[in-house]
Structures are given as C-alpha cells and as structure tokens.
Amino acid sequence: MNNSTNWNQPIIDEFRANSGKVGGRFEGKTLLILHTVGAKSGLERVNPTAYVADSDRLVIIASKGGAPTNPNWYHNILAHPLVTVEVGTEKFQAQAEIAQEPERTRLFNLMVGMMPGFADYQQKTTRVIPVIILTPLK
C-alpha cells in the first residue's frame, strides 16, 4: 500500500460507515469519494476529496495541499474523464471537465467560501490549481 492509500483508507472507511459523514478536519464539510481509472495503470483509484455544489454539478479542487504538482487523480481525469462518484449513500457516474476562466476562479472562490484553507493552498504554490466540474450522468 502506498502512502496515499494509507492516508485515504481510514477516511473512505469512515465515509462509507457513516453515510458520507466524517470527523476530523473534514467534519461538517462536504466530502465525496472519487473513483478514477489510472492514467498509466488502467486500474481503479479511489480518493476522498472535498467538494462544493454548483447547481446540479459538483466541484472539486486539485490542490494537493498546495504542492508544486497536481494530484495523481487529476492526471487520471485528463486521461479518463468518465468517473464514478460517491456522495452520502449515493453512487453514480459523472463526466469530469477542467473549468476554464472565468468560471474556474468563480468556482475556486465558491470552495474557498466553504473551506478557506484552499486559499492557503493557492498561496503555497506557483501553479494555478485546477478546478474540476463533475456533471452527474443520471
């Protein structure tokens, strides 16, 4: 198991055991479980991530805590934009797209309004942190 899996698995387990609710730093925040297909491996990858709703779409941020590189799941989305999402007890497919300006900034600020730490992540890096829109396919 890699470090990302070690870090994420307890959050995923808690999410699934409590109908999408978790404690710790995500307590009271909206969290989803993102299933992607590995860009290189072709294997399923599962990651928890904060989200904010924008109408009928879900918005996630590829912040990686302000690291200089994007998270692996971002590259997976570029290669395979059809993803599976878990929200609460619901599981569905969604089409992922990278938000372009000016919508990217509007959606990033929407997330910052819910979780101000995302503004800190942007300050920690020189890259423009990608914003991803997940449109459910229902």
pLDDT tens, residue by residue, 91-122: 999 999 999 999 999 999 999 999 999 999 99
Kindly state the tokens that stand for 23: 């404690």
Question: Which residues constitute the domain of residue 48?
Answer: 3-136
Residue 5 scores a pLDDT above 70: no
Task: Report the run of H or E that residue 16 belongs to, with start and end.
Answer: helix 3-17
Structural domain tally of the chain? Answer: 1
Q: For the domain that residue 94 is a member of, what is the CATH number?
A: 2.30.110.10
Q: In what order do the strands lie in the sheet with 31-37?
A: 44-50, 31-37, 82-87, 90-98, 131-136, 57-61, 52-54
Per-residue model confidence (pLDDT) at position 1: 40
Per-residue model confidence (pLDDT) at position 2: 43
Per-residue model confidence (pLDDT) at position 78: 97
Query: Could you give the percent of the chain with pLDDT greater than 90?
Result: 83
Q: Flag the least confident range among 15-19, 26-30, 47-51.
A: 26-30
